[in-house]
Structure 1
């Protein structure tokens, strides 16, 4: 039989580790920024809604994403320094270990999903 001389210390260490883990998760999830765009991120994917008519960009999942242009149903975005031309319904395009998909495009916004 093992008797712990300081059982309170074990509980405090475990609580501290859980708190650190939660703080790290919050940092990862909030590690995005944008201008002229809004982001909705989870652990492995972000949906970026770019406003049209402004210089729209976002930083998500460790890469920069920028709306370059829209021509009808074709959208050009720059992700991790690479320009991609996407259409709605097209299979995702891989860039820098991420999969980029055009979710929707209208007169006001362009919605792109970037996933690991």
Structure 2
């Protein structure tokens, strides 16, 4: 798994100087938009929503009030809305929760809310 992510991040880094700055992809119950710092994923609620970004699989597991449970790279984490949690060398933040969607930002490197 680490090897796949390393290859994906290396490929991503090589594309940046070539002028590729953003891409959009749709998966089962999700839409993702990536740039040089990471990917923003909009998950549909009420379906088996998942996306493959930055060489990892991300899945919306549950929403309980302001807490969102995600499975990122096979590891389950709980992230409160508006906060960021580190997992496996990535930074996972929940930007917004609505009745229909959950917007998550997965970025390379560890970021904190200060």
Q: Which has the larger share of helix?
A: 1
Q: 1:76–1:25: structure 2 CA closer, same or farther, 3 Å change rule? A: farther
List 4+ stretches of structure 1 deviating above 2 A: 24-33
Q: Which runs of 5+ in 2 are unaligned?
A: 1-13, 109-114
Shift of 1:93: 1.1
Q: Distance in 2 between matches of 1:111 and 1:65?
A: 12
Query: In terms of Rg, which structure is larger?
Result: 1
TM-score w.r.t. length of structure 1:
0.71
The number of equivalent residue pairs is 95
Q: Which runs of 5+ in 1 are unaligned?
A: 1-20
Q: Deviations over 1:4-61 (max 9, x none)?
A: xxxxxxxxxxxxxxxxx76x96889659552100001002210000000100000001
Of the three residues 96, 99, 108, the one matched with 2:88 is 96
CA-based RMSD:
2.6
